[in-house]
């Protein structure tokens, strides 16, 4: 649970939203699995520039406060244009399900670019370190320390960069795009602002310390020793007893020990949750 809840527990349970989307009609790529989505060149270019700038600013031990307002404004404007055009396509060639699946393409682009840019920075320093060591340079020690710091703070950098970017997109959604969504989509398809505010997007893995420290209450440094899985089952049993009026599905079905292969998972989140939720079943063309 969040360390800083914004609404009472019962209210948050009742205000939860189920998302059910079908991708059955979307054209698949050459592997008959991925859906190819072409994003606007302007949005892609603005995001790449912003990511490169933010990583250069955040990938230092003591980052300064920078004025990035002009570039942030460009990203907000290009995102607004991109999503406005996409939402209007519900009147022509896209169903609401297809539209809502395609709007995750900018999210995946951002996550991919931030990790790629940070990995390039680390690879560049590693290559420089190798050259310095071969030359016997005195700069090798400082470069080695720099490389060690970057690897140690990998998820902290990702967390801060992604959070800044997604907060800008969420701002556009809440202040401007909600009018367009109200006009063309019903309530079941207005979940994008909540998706952009999901802190699980910010790091490379669900166990990353910046994510846990900033967004969750810490139970223990070592999850196995604290028997978190058993604790989780007890909490679910208690919730089902105390608030019976809500139909709360358990995170993990004890009777289901599927041996089926894990579904394709580009960003790795499903693999991280298997210990708690069990293996994920292939949902074919549906997202729930």
Report helix angle 269-277 to 228-242, nearest 10.
70
Output the CA angle 193-195-198, nearest 5 degrees. 115
Q: Averaged over 91-99, what is the pLDDT?
A: 86
pLDDT band at 111 (very low <50, low <70, confident <90, very high): very high
Nearest Cα neighbor of 150 from 52, 56, 60 is 60
Of 17 and 10, the one with more pLDDT: 17
11 has pLDDT over 60: no
CA–CA separation, 117 and 123 (whole Å):
10
pLDDT at 147: 93
176 has pLDDT over 80: yes
Least confident of 49-53, 61-65, 169-173: 61-65
127 has pLDDT over 50: yes
Strand partners, 22: 286
pLDDT at 112: 92
Q: For 144-165, b where at least 16 C-beta lie within 10 A, e where not — what string?
A: eebbeebeebbbbbbbbbbbbb
pLDDT band at 230 (very low <50, low <70, confident <90, very high): confident
pLDDT band at 3 (very low <50, low <70, confident <90, very high): very low
Phi, psi of 112 (to 5 degrees): -70, -45
pLDDT at 129: 94
141 has pLDDT over 80: yes
Least confident of 134-148, 236-250, 261-275: 261-275
Identify whether the C-beta of residue 189 lies closer than 8 Å to the C-beta of residue 232: no
pLDDT at 26: 74
């Amino acid at each position: 649970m969040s360390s800083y809840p914004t609404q009472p527990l019962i209210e948050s349970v009742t205000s939860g939203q189920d998302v059910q989307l079908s991708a059955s009609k979307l054209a698949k790529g050459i592997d008959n699995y991925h859906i190819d989505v072409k994003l606007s060149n302007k949005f892609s270019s603005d995001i790449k520039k912003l990511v490169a700038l933010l990583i250069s600013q955040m990938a230092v031990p003591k980052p300064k406060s920078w004025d990035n307002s002009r570039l942030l404004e460009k990203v907000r404007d290009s995102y607004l244009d991109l999503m406005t055009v996409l939402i209007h396509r519900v009147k022509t060639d896209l169903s609401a399900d297809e539209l809502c699946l395609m709007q995750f393409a900018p999210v995946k682009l951002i996550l991919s670019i931030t990790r790629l840019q940070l990995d390039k920075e680390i690879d560049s320093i590693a290559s420089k370190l190798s050259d310095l060591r071969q030359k016997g340079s005195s700069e090798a020690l400082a470069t080695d320390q720099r490389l060690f710091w970057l690897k140690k703070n990998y998820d902290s950098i990702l967390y801060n960069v992604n959070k800044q970017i997604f907060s800008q997109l969420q701002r556009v959604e809440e202040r401007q795009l909600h009018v367009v969504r109200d006009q063309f989509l019903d309530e079941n398809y207005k979940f994008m602002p909540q998706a952009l505010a999901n802190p699980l997007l910010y790091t490379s893995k669900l166990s990353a310390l910046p994510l846990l420290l900033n967004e969750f209450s810490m139970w223990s440094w070592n999850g196995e020793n604290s028997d978190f899985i058993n604790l989780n089952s007890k909490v679910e049993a208690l919730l089902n007893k105390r608030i019976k009026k809500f139909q709360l599905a358990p995170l993990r079905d004890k009777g289901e020990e599927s041996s089926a292969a894990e579904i394709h998972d580009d960003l790795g989140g499903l693999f991280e949750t298997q210990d708690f939720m069990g293996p994920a079943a292939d949902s074919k063309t549906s997202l729930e």
